[in-house]
């Protein structure tokens, strides 16, 4: 379709146009060239200040990727949208921070500058969120008072900027809890295609998400944008997120449908504020089913201490992981020891409930192994059995401990997350660490072995589990 046809099919509504009697905010341009997180980059950013802003009261925040384009390109003028919605009280008094992607100037005359957009926007992980939180917003806060809580902050973007918006909130839900993604690039460019699977596995986060897309979106070497957005919507629904969407059969990878629905998207993500987004309401995830309702991590005095690197069988045999010597040793009831497996840096062991098999976690961060225990104690059929979910931009750190629940599912503690696998080896869920300190130990306790204890830093935390027979749901 031609631009004129698209403009006719997707007309701008009154909330996207200047209205008589609506107070206009002001837009200020700034340049930032002192980044530590993206060294060498230079970028412009714009700050929208609503007419209703008063220094005595901290304002909510809207961060927008591709800042210039969402203010001044084609039909885009989000400043006008914000004027109208704030005047209507459809969203709170909000300062907009419109950030361009970085560029690295050429080092020599006539050279080509480096475009940092894809690196910043398409890469999963918390790097971009940290850039906004640690470098850009402090600059804005030198001039304006901003709310600090994630409930009072939204983040908005299109295409790679939409993927970036979702990823920033996913990585830092403490800082951003309201998301608008338009034609989001949840595709295999730098790992965006992994996020829908992460949504299905991770314990739900308190996010409210709006997706826009269409059937005429990109279908290129890096993926199909339409099916990727459908997959993301399905994952968010499955995991019980507050999610809304507007699709259109004729919408493509351009501004027309995007800027037509932008006011509705912003109106929806801010609806009900200051009520906080609810995490996991109606979730079908195994991780939600096995966690006792309303029971989050609590700090407590650990009832016992167990060394993660050794286990003792009912008949008195002891298996010990000797990490520095790359082996597992069996010590029989008479104290005689022998090597039963050679593996790279085995760090933690656990017996299956029937003591027929031994679970072995290695410090290198690879998949947790499973071995059959022969009648004489030897280990056979050692396989990398329990698949670990990780991404280079979401590293969970090395494996540190492992436990097996009575139904047979395996819990592996990594430094920054806890993964649960079905007894058949498939991943079933991921819990966040109980604190920002690295996890160092984990075990199950209680008469039913249904209380999960985790050490992080110098503190212990516990959480009650429900011992489901199956995690396939």
Shared-domain flag, residues 328 and 367: yes
Shared-domain flag, residues 254 and 364: no
Shared-domain flag, residues 327 and 207: no
- Stretch 105-114: mean pLDDT, rounded? 93
Characterise 397 by phi-psi region: left (phi > 0), alpha (psi -120 to 50), beta (else): left
Shared-domain flag, residues 90 and 220: yes
> Taking each helix axis from N to C terminus, what angle separates 255-270 and 78-87, rounded to the nearest 10 degrees?
30
Instruction: State the chain's mean pLDDT as an integer.
Output: 96
In-domain check, residue 367:
yes
Residue range of the domain that includes 332? 286-464
The pair phi, psi for residue 121, each rounded to 5°, is -90, -35
Which helix (H) or strand (E) element contains residue 237? Answer: helix 225-238
CATH number, domain of 190, equals: 3.40.50.1820
Q: Is the pTM of this model over 0.85?
A: yes
Which helix (H) or strand (E) element contains residue 455? Answer: strand 451-456
Total structural domains within the chain: 2
Shared-domain flag, residues 383 and 257: no
At 440-461, the pLDDT tens digits run 999 999 999 999 999 999 999 9
In-domain check, residue 320:
yes
What does the buried/exposed string (b/e) look like for 200-232 if buried means 16 or more CB atoms within 10 Å of the residue's CB? bbbbbbbbbbbbbbbebbbeeebbebbebbbbb
Q: Does residue 36 register a pLDDT over 60?
A: yes
- Stretch 205-234: mean pLDDT, rounded? 98
Shared-domain flag, residues 137 and 14: yes
Residue 10 pLDDT: 98
In-domain check, residue 421:
yes
CA dist., res. 223 & res. 94, Å (int): 35
Going by their DSSP bridges, the two strands 298-299 and 114-115 should be labelled as unpaired
Shared-domain flag, residues 196 and 303: no
Domain boundary among 206, 241, 270: 270
The pair phi, psi for residue 188, each rounded to 5°, is -80, 60
Q: How confident is the model at residue 391 (pLDDT cuts 50, 70, 90)?
A: low
Q: Is the dihedral of CA 246, 252, 258, 261 positive or negative?
A: negative
In-domain check, residue 275:
no
* Half-sphere CA count of 292, side-chain side, radius 13 A: 13
The pair phi, psi for residue 264, each rounded to 5°, is -65, -40
At 53-95, the pLDDT tens digits run 999 999 999 999 999 999 999 999 999 999 999 999 999 999 9
């Amino acid at each position: 379709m031609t631009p004129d046809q698209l403009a006719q099919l997707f007309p701008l509504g009154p909330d996207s146009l200047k209205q008589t009697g609506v107070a206009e905010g002001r837009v200020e341009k700034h340049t930032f060239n002192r980044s530590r997180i993206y060294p060498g980059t230079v970028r412009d950013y714009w700050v929208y200040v609503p007419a209703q802003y008063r220094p005595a009261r901290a304002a909510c925040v809207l961060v927008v990727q591709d800042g210039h384009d969402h203010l001044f390109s084609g039909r885009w003028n989000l400043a006008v949208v914000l004027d109208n919605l704030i005047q209507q009280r459809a969203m709170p008094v909000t300062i907009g921070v419109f950030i361009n992607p970085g560029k690295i100037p050429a080092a020599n005359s006539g050279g080509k500058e480096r475009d940092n957009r894809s690196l910043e926007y398409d890469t999963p992980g918390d790097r971009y969120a940290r850039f906004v939180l640690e470098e850009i917003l402090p600059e804005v806060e030198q001039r304006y008072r901003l709310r600090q809580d994630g409930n009072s902050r939204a983040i908005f973007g299109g295409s790679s900027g939409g993927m970036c918006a979702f990823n920033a909130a996913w990585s830092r839900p403490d800082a951003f809890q309201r998301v608008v993604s338009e034609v989001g690039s949840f595709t295999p460019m730098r790992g965006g295609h992994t996020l829908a699977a992460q949504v299905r596995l991770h314990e739900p986060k308190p996010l409210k998400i709006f997706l826009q897309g269409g059937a005429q979106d990109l279908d290129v070497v890096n993926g199909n944008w339409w099916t990727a957005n459908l997959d993301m919507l399905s994952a968010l629904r499955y995991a019980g997120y507050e999610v809304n969407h507007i699709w259109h059969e004729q919408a493509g990878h351009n501004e027309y449908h995007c800027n037509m629905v932008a006011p509705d998207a912003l109106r929806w993500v801010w609806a009900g504020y200051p009520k906080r987004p609810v995490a996991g309401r109606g979730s079908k995830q195994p991780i939600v089913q096995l966690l006792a309702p309303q029971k989050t991590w609590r700090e407590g005095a650990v009832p016992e201490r167990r060394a993660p690197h050794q286990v003792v069988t009912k008949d008195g045999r002891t298996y010990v992981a000797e990490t520095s010597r790359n082996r597992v040793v069996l010590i029989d009831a008479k104290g005689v020891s022998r090597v039963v497996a050679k593996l790279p840096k085995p760090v933690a062991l656990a017996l299956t409930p029937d003591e027929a098999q031994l679970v072995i976690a290695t410090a290198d961060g690879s998949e947790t192994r499973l071995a059959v225990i022969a009648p004489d104690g030897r280990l056979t059929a050692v396989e990398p059995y329990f698949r670990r979910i990780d991404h280079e931009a979401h590293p969970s750190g090395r494996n540190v401990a492992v436990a097996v629940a009575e139904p047979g599912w395996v819990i592996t503690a990594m430094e920054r997350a806890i993964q649960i696998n079905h007894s058949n080896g498939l991943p079933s869920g991921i819990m966040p660490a109980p604190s920002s300190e690295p996890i160092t130990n984990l075990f199950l306790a209680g008469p039913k072995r249904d209380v999960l204890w985790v050490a992080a830093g110098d503190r212990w935390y516990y959480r009650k589990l429900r011992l489901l027979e199956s995690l396939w749901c």
